[in-house]
Structure 1
Amino acid sequence: MELKQAFDTVRQRSVSICAPLQTEDYVVQPVVDVSPPKWHLGHTTWFFETFVLQPNLNGYQVFNADYNFVFNSYYESVGARVIRTDRGNLSRPGVADVYRYREYVDKEMGKLLAQDISKELHALITLGLNHEEQHQELLVTDIKYILGHNPLFPAYQEDYNFKEQPVASSHFIAFPAGIYEIGYTGEGFCFDNELNRHKVYLEEFSISSALVTNAEYLEFMKAGGYTDFRHWHAEGWDWVKTNKINAPLYWHEVDGDWMNYTLKGFRAIDPSMPLAHISYYEAAAFAAWKGLRLPTENEWEAAAPQLAWGERWEWTESAYLPYPGFVKAPGAIGEYNGKFMVSQMVLRGGSVATPPGHSRITYRNFFHPPLRWQYTGIRLAK
């Protein structure tokens, strides 16, 4: 797709995701990990203004100098910023101001994209578009968290449809011990944490052909899974007790039946659907209860061509670490992934909320073990 068309398409999709919202929905931040929709719209715009327009478009005038402080996320080298916990206090700039900001920057980007641009600038803009697509997934999941913690459980859209499919019957697929190649293949876009392609030795392993279902997880719950410390990592058990966890996120027991919040509103649990919104702690505990384990990220990538994947981010047993030969890019762009390679676990496979093109075999998502507001699920291994 021609770059200008790609830019327009991606930018419009962010606006479309927010179209069903009421103005008040744009400013809510229930927890530190969830950002207000207004902030996402402003931050992705700030990325293009700061890293693309200011250095590359002659005569560019910054829309509002204060926005660097408001919409910078974690780029230390670009200056001071609002801390993450304070994003919900941003009553100003208003929603209308943020949309004017987007219109201004998009118009200026149109001027830049009408010029001949270098290969390096093309790559930077492509990174910016992939960055915005990451925030589109966060928009969907953050909006769900915002509405799912409203006492009225309002629907995002009554007819919203991810086109999710019930889980087919599962079986274990065996893979022999041997040398496997892992990482970016050289085709299409990749983030820096997918580099470099390298070889790993894997012992013989087997992996489930399908994701764990709601029905299977209900069995774990009914068997006392949340009350038996033997299944849990010590840190996970502390998390369960401290936070009084007894079910996946968005699940509520009503008159003896399990319900859950969906983007369509409050609905009964569908036993046949793949489980969603669980932490690494819960995934590992369920696997232990079954007498199995989670796959490593290398096992997952080696097996992925033979698996049905893409509906849930699948927790792996692997810590988020650099690949051999990984080098952070110079300047602010080098802060993109490398600085987060500590205390997090890798997830693979993408989800129903993941934009097209991001669900690829080599994509490495990463979150802290207790987080579960993304569409996270379980695939078992042995």
Structure 2
Amino acid sequence: MKHHYQAIRKLSEKICAPLQKEDYVVQPVPDVSPPKWHLAHTTWFWEEFVLSQHVKNYKRFHPRYAFLFNSYYDSVGERVLRLHRGNMSRPTVDEVWAYRAHVDEQMMAFLPSASETVIRLVELGLNHEQQHQELLYTDIKYILGHNPLFPPYLEDFKETLFIEQDHSYIHIPQGSYSIGHDTTCFSFDNEHARHDIQLPSFAIRKSLVTNGEYIEFIKDNGYKNPLLWYSDGWAWVNEFKIDSPLYWYPKEGNWYRYALSGFEKVNEAEPVTHISFYEAAAFAEWKGMRLPTEFEWEVASDQFQWGQRWEHTNSAYLPYPGYRKPAGAVGEYNGKFMINQMVLRGASVATPPEHSRKTYRNFFHPPLRWQFNGIRLCQK
């Protein structure tokens, strides 16, 4: 466990290595947190839930860090509102690094004596940090992608690892299927309880929708046709003047985009990304198709490649039958967010190694699009 802990903690630091100090404190919008905050918050998790609870006479690194770096655990105590995270010029970046070093030293001393119950909590904490590693990538992209200079994060960063060639459909017969996690490996509480569902037959595409296909949607005035959109989506498009995916810019008759490797021409063969649920649903309607439910996605997922983009589904984020929220503050991790959000399945190019599985339920509000998400279609 010590080696696993160290490897995951070091990956967070590696993700931040290309940044300049000025990059660590920027918060362009409330949904995007400064990299400095991510580094401190993931450290607070260990101090709050492990060290302060299970190490006798543990002395916190700073008496106010619990207030500064608590995210949404209201039962733990007061916290800084999310939209104010970018106002924290203090503590400094160097002080946050010192905080991480202190907590890591204490964790290394404690882990060999940790009970099985605490080890399960540590495993949750490691998966929590991996979630923030993906958020680091997407938040860094938003920060740099809204800088007028469009500075690259890493010039050799690949946002698409392979180009899909087979755009045919997989046909799944009607029947009873088991949904949810059922092994002894780690899983989040929202992946339980495993249960059976009845599905009618359906056909799901082997490949993700490409940039080229999405350009055709734009050319056909997809963003201007109210018949394609949910009512809330149409209001969103008009209020915020949305006419293309996030990070796309028209230039000299072509589409360009900001990628983590820098400003580049859109590659039409790559899967489209950084689109909202509203856009995904409107595109599916334009195609005469639909989005899969999360259950259809899970049942069919062994028959197609996934992992480059989080994939929009037409399923609201709700508890499974038999779901039980864990006791205490850890119960705030997932359960209280099961309203007004939509499920995404799969993983993305920014998902850390060994942090993806077909039962994983990601979730976001319908307008949000700064994650590496994409579209897989089902036939109507």
| TM-score of the pair, normalised by structure 1 | 0.98
Contact 1:313 1:349 survives alignment (8 Å): yes
CA contact (8 A) 2:180 2:194 kept: yes
Indicate the residue corresponding to 2:287 in structure 1. 290
- CA separation of 1:356/1:332 partners in 2, compared to 1, >3 Å: closer, same or farther? same
1:13 to 11, 14, 17: 11
Match of 2:168 in 1: 171
SS at match of 1:142: helix
Distance 2:188 2:304 in 1: 23
Query: SS in structure 2 opposite 1:353?
Result: coil
SS in 2 for 1:201: strand
* Amino acid across the alignment from 1:230: L
2:264 maps to what in 1? Answer: 267
**Partners of 1:169 and 1:112 in 2: how far apart?**
51
Matched, 1:109 2:100: no
1:204 aligns with 2:201: yes
Give the drift of 1:173. 0.7
* 2:174 and 2:199 in contact (8 A); partners too: yes
Of residues 176, 181, 184, the one that matches 1:184 is 181
Q: Counterpart in 2 of 1:77?
A: 75
Please list every run of at least 4 consecutive aligned residues from structure 1 whose deviation after the TM superposition is greater than 3 angstroms. Answer: none
2:369 counterpart residue number: 372
Structure 1 residue 135 and structure 2 residue 132: aligned?
yes
Instruction: For 1:22, give the aligned amino acid.
Output: Q
1:72-96 Cα shifts (integer Å, max 9, x gaps): 0000011000000000101000000
Alpha-carbon distance between aligned partners in 1 of 2:131 and 2:288, rounded to the nearest angstrom: 35
How big is each residue's C-alpha offset from its partner over 1:95-123, in whole Å with a ceiling of 9 and x where there is no partner?
A: 000000000000000110132x2111110
Deviations 1:53-73 (CA, angstroms, capped at 9, x unpaired) = 011112211000100110000
> Contact (CA 8 Å) 1:167, 1:213: kept in 2 or not?
no
Aligned pairs for 1:271-350 within 5 A? 271-350=268-347
Secondary structure of 1:153's aligned partner: coil
Q: Cα deviations across residues 297-352 of structure 1 (Å, max 9, x unaligned)?
A: 00000000101111000000000000011111111000000000000000000000
> Structure 2: which 5+ runs fail to align?
none
Matching residue of 1:22:
20
Q: State the aligned residue count.
A: 379
Partner of 1:218: 215
Question: Aligned equivalents of 1:102 and 1:263: distance in 2?
Answer: 26
Aligned to 1:160: 157
8 Å contact 2:289–2:378 — kept in the other structure?
yes
Question: Helix, strand or coil: the match of 2:222?
Answer: coil
CA distance in structure 1 between the partners assigned to 2:99 and 2:124 by the alignment:
20
Call closer, same or farther: CA 1:247–1:163 in 2, change over 3 Å.
closer
Aligned counterparts of 1:187 and 1:205: Cα–Cα separation in 2: 31
Amino acid at match of 1:278: I
For 1:353, the equivalent position in structure 2 comes to: 350
Q: C-alpha separation between the residues in 2 aligned to 1:229 and 1:352?
A: 32
Corresponding letter in the other structure for 1:320: Y
Q: Contact conserved, 2:159 with 2:260, CA < 8 A, in 1?
A: no
Matched letter for residue 69 of structure 1: F
Whether the 8 Å CA contact 1:194–1:362 is kept in 2: the answer is: yes
Identity of aligned residues (%): 58
Q: Is the 8 A contact 2:160 2:308 kept in 1?
A: no
Larger displacement relative to structure 2 (183-192 or 235-244): 183-192
Matching residue of 1:35: 33
1:323 maps to a residue whose letter is: Y
Q: Secondary structure at the match of 2:75?
A: helix
SS of residue paired to 2:344: strand
How far residue 162 of structure 1 moved from its aligned partner, in angstroms, is 4.5
CA distance in structure 2 between the partners assigned to 1:242 and 1:43 by the alignment: 33
Measured after TM superposition, the shift of residue 185 of structure 1 is 1.7
1:149 aligns with 2:131: no
CA distance in 2 between partners of 1:309 and 1:273 (Å): 14
1:47 equivalent in structure 2: 45
Query: What amino acid is the match of 2:274?
Result: H
In 2, distance between residues paired with 1:31 and 1:180? 41
Q: What amino acid is the match of 1:133? A: Q
CA distance in 1: counterparts of 2:365 and 2:258, whole angstroms = 23
Q: Supply the AA of the counterpart residue of 1:281.
A: Y
Amino acid paired to 1:258? W
8 Å contact kept, 1:179–1:202: yes
Report the counterpart of residue 237 of structure 2 in structure 1.
Answer: 240
Q: 1: CA distance between counterparts of 2:169 and 2:158?
A: 30
